[in-house]
Structure 1
Amino acid sequence: MPVSKDKQTGLWKVDISGGVNPVTGKRRGYTKRNIKTRREALALEPLLRVQKFGEEGVTLDLLYTLTQEDDRMNHCRSTYLNTQASYYKKHFEGYFKEAQIDKITHREIETFRQTLIDQGLAPSTINRLMAQLSKLFNTAVKHGFRSDNPCTVLRKLAESPNKMNYWTVEEFNTFMSLFEVSEYPYQLFFKVAFSTGMRKGELLGLTWEDVDFNRQTIQVNKTLVRNPNGELALNPPKTKAGYRSITIHNSLTKELRAWKEKQHQLLAPFCEDPETLQVFQFIPEPLNEFRVKYAYDKVMKRTNKLKKIRIHDFRHSHVALLIENGEDPYVIKERLGHASIKTTYNTYGHLYPNRQQSLSDKLDGLF
């Protein structure tokens, strides 16, 4: 590897090769030592190749590597890093493989964006991808690989509001009726999702330590995520508002208690402390998002009477249920873990057909 740690000094070094000298037949090489950080070494490598061997300069791969290093230094969440990695491999890596970064203008960037449009991607998705690309070129400017960012000339595409999908209580009950007895843990997963508005990762991160049967509450304090290396990990909520206590109704409390007893009989031989089991776990392996998605798709194939919604839309369905029953917006904000009521109103205000004006009046002067 051209960039590695020097075992003698503990510092980083760049060891590059320029092929064979056509006159002497000897290998052309150059080593730069005593570099303080890996990030500095990675940034120095392409410059040395240009200076010493006249090679072409920076690649988008290098910009991506440097940007990821910066994000890790800034303690960005693994979910964010994972998403950025997925976007890069799918949309940028192949297209810009042979690109000369210092030669790209806003015209090439606009042409690239048009390829995304031609793929039928939503404007909101394209805007997110272009924001990531702009971030890569900001890295190029930061390290002196070019003097400007060609993405800044382009304006964002106009985004139309997303249509919010959700189920009514009747539709949800139809969905519940489709499960087989052996699929009960998944059925319970979706029942809690509909009843609490919790996110998928929060539900998967839920353990029995978080369920208080006496107070009939669920404490949300972690979320199950998948790291870029594919491993599952428990992360804290993104914001302080993400830490919250959600009240659950009597019948759900009884159902969870009964499932806990049955689950402990099934899995007690496989764990030291049953309290640390995932609430919806039913095999020794942790329940993950892929198993839940597979189970959901399998159940939905059993009917053509229901519109298919995303698993995240169970959260929207919960809010629609609360609004239909006249729940206060501030209570909804607390249950969802939103940082502000403005977020709740901006997202769900259109679902308040009879209370739109009064809710607007409440918000006056708050922000």
Structure 2
Amino acid sequence: MASIRSRNNKLLFDFTYKGIRCREQTILVDNKLNRSRLNVILNNIEAEMRLGRFVFKKHFPSSPRCSYFAEIDEKTEDAKNNSVNTEEQKLVTNIPTFYEFTSEWLDENKIQWKLSHYKNVSMIFERYLIPHFGNQALDEITRPQIIKYRASISEPKRLGRVKKLGNDWINHVMTPLRGILNEAAIRYDFPTPFVNIKALKVEKTPIEPFSLAEVQLVLSKVRKDYKNYYTVRFFTGMRTAEIDGLKWKYVNFDRSEILIQETIVDGYVETPKTSASYRSIQLSQPVSDALRRQFKLTGQQEYVFCNNNGNPLDHRNITKRIWYPMLIEMNMKPRRPYQTRHTCATLWLAAGESPEWIAKQMGHSTTKMLFEVYSRYVPNNTRQDGSAFDLLIKQTQMDKTGDSVYE
């Protein structure tokens, strides 16, 4: 039976043709994505063999076995040239299969993507798109087929997965599918099938910020070696990748600021999330004090918060070992560490800080997020909506006798 095998960590084809066992080496390293790619090719080879259309030198032009199969290849090509059918007419257009174009498209787009995004998109092709569309010519993929595929991936199929995929993740899968089909349509001059397929509606995840009393309780109970870390998280609004990638060279005690210039994502140093994310965060007194304490511990290291080897913290490990056990011990509702960022925004708003200033501190390009999400968590000190405006009117719209000008 034909298979993909590994030799010295390089993949090879292992199949039998005309009674001869063929083991054809490739230059691809042994990983899931490359195995998926070669399995698509192997399926095509087996199909061509069954149809009597397999030409050995077409697939393995550098193989020493080409001379052995030369006569068979010549007869096969003669038979193909004398048989005109729809499939051959398609081959003349040189439109590749979905799998064949995938590698080219990923390589072309890699330059404009962060490494973490490239790895994520590659995983989507490997796990979802290539197994379903890999063997099809790009212009054979239809709009109904795409819609049916989108519906099918929401259902749990793998052993142990009982929950459906969320709409947000399904949209993530469909985004590179749309991108590759739209590019192929332009390049090979056929109408794109990805037409009027709107993204699925994604319900907004409610944010659950901590109150100031809860923040103070957390900081009083957290393990001492992580108190500085969570103080900075709660009172700067930094994203996880930003605080984990924070280096001492970006902390300026004289100017009382942190510069956000780099992040850490899956162990790789990357640029901040957006252009607005490059920013200066002003240090409050609790943050300044926490960083000065931390400097005594890790000031000789590159990263502000690091392990004993000086390497950046693994946020998944910290969340599992420190964050959730701490909340459970304090009988607090489990919340993601990212809620520290939401907490900071709501505390700034509650303190009466300027929305424009808060947006810059958070790395938002506008105040839209503040007014749409965070502002509803600001406590209403009047306890009656609109009463502050009524009070303003009463104070400024009186005539000299003290009577209202509106009466």
Q: What is the aligned partner in structure 2 of residue 102 from structure 1? A: 139
How many Å apart are 1:332 and its aligned residue? 0.8
Q: What is the aligned partner in structure 2 of residue 114 from structure 1? A: 151
Question: How many percent identity over aligned positions?
Answer: 20
1:280 equivalent to 2:305? Answer yes
Q: Deviations over 1:215-269 (max 9, x none)?
A: 322122211234xxxxx333333444222221222233223212211335xxxxx
Give the AA of the match of 1:64.
T
Q: TM-score, normalised by structure 1?
A: 0.71
Q: In structure 1, what is the Cα distance between the partners aligned to 2:308 and 2:351?
A: 37
Q: What is the aligned partner in structure 2 of residue 60 from structure 1? A: 98
Deviates more, 1:17-26 or 1:318-327: 17-26
Q: Which of 71, 76, 80 matches 1:24?
A: 71
User: Residue 302 and residue 351 in structure 1: after superposition, are their counterparts in 2 closer, same or farther (change >3 A)?
Assistant: closer
How many Å apart are 1:200 and its aligned residue? 1.0
How many Å apart are 1:29 and its aligned residue? 12
Give the AA of the match of 1:326.
G
Q: In structure 1, what is the Cα distance between the partners aligned to 2:97 and 2:319?
A: 37
Q: In structure 1, what is the Cα distance between the partners aligned to 2:278 and 2:303?
A: 18
1:261 equivalent to 2:305? Answer no
Q: What is the aligned partner in structure 1 of residue 48 from structure 2? A: none
1:245 equivalent to 2:280? Answer yes
Contact 1:202 1:222 in 2 (8 A): yes
Q: Which of 152, 156, 159 matches 2:195?
A: 152
Compute the RMSD of aligned alpha carbons.
3.8
User: Residue 125 and residue 255 in structure 1: after superposition, are their counterparts in 2 closer, same or farther (change >3 A)?
Assistant: same
How many Å apart are 1:22 and its aligned residue? 8.0
How many Å apart are 1:178 and its aligned residue? 4.5
Q: TM-score, normalised by structure 2?
A: 0.64
Q: Structure 2: which 5+ runs fail to align?
A: 1-24, 29-56, 78-86, 157-163, 387-407
Q: Which of 208, 213, 234 matches 1:165?
A: 208
Q: What is the aligned partner in structure 2 of residue 314 from structure 1? A: 340
Q: What is the aligned partner in structure 2 of residue 38 from structure 1? A: none
Q: In structure 2, what is the Cα distance between the partners aligned to 1:101 and 1:131?
A: 16
Contact 2:264 2:270 in 1 (8 A): yes
Which secondary structure does the structure 1 equivalent of 2:280 belong to?
strand
Q: In structure 2, what is the Cα distance between the partners aligned to 1:143 and 1:88?
A: 20
Q: In structure 2, what is the Cα distance between the partners aligned to 1:304 and 1:263?
A: 29
Contact 2:277 2:363 in 1 (8 A): yes
User: Residue 207 and residue 29 in structure 1: after superposition, are their counterparts in 2 closer, same or farther (change >3 A)?
Assistant: farther
Q: Structure 1: which 5+ runs fail to align?
A: 5-14, 31-46, 227-231, 265-273, 358-367
Q: What is the aligned partner in structure 2 of residue 128 from structure 1? A: 172
Deviates more, 1:15-24 or 1:327-336: 15-24
Q: Which of 339, 364, 379 matches 1:338?
A: 364
Q: Deviations over 1:281-310 (max 9, x none)?
A: 131141233333333455347437222222
User: What number of residue pairs does the alignment pair up?
Assistant: 309
Q: What is the aligned partner in structure 2 of residue 191 from structure 1? A: 231
Q: In structure 1, what is the Cα distance between the partners aligned to 2:361 and 2:131?
A: 43
User: Residue 176 and residue 16 in structure 1: after superposition, are their counterparts in 2 closer, same or farther (change >3 A)?
Assistant: farther
**Whose RCO is larger (CA < 8 A, sep 6+)?**
1
Q: In structure 1, what is the Cα distance between the partners aligned to 2:326 and 2:131?
A: 36
Contact 1:18 1:27 in 2 (8 A): no
Which secondary structure does the structure 2 equivalent of 1:66 belong to?
helix
Q: In structure 1, what is the Cα distance between the partners aligned to 2:340 and 2:320?
A: 16
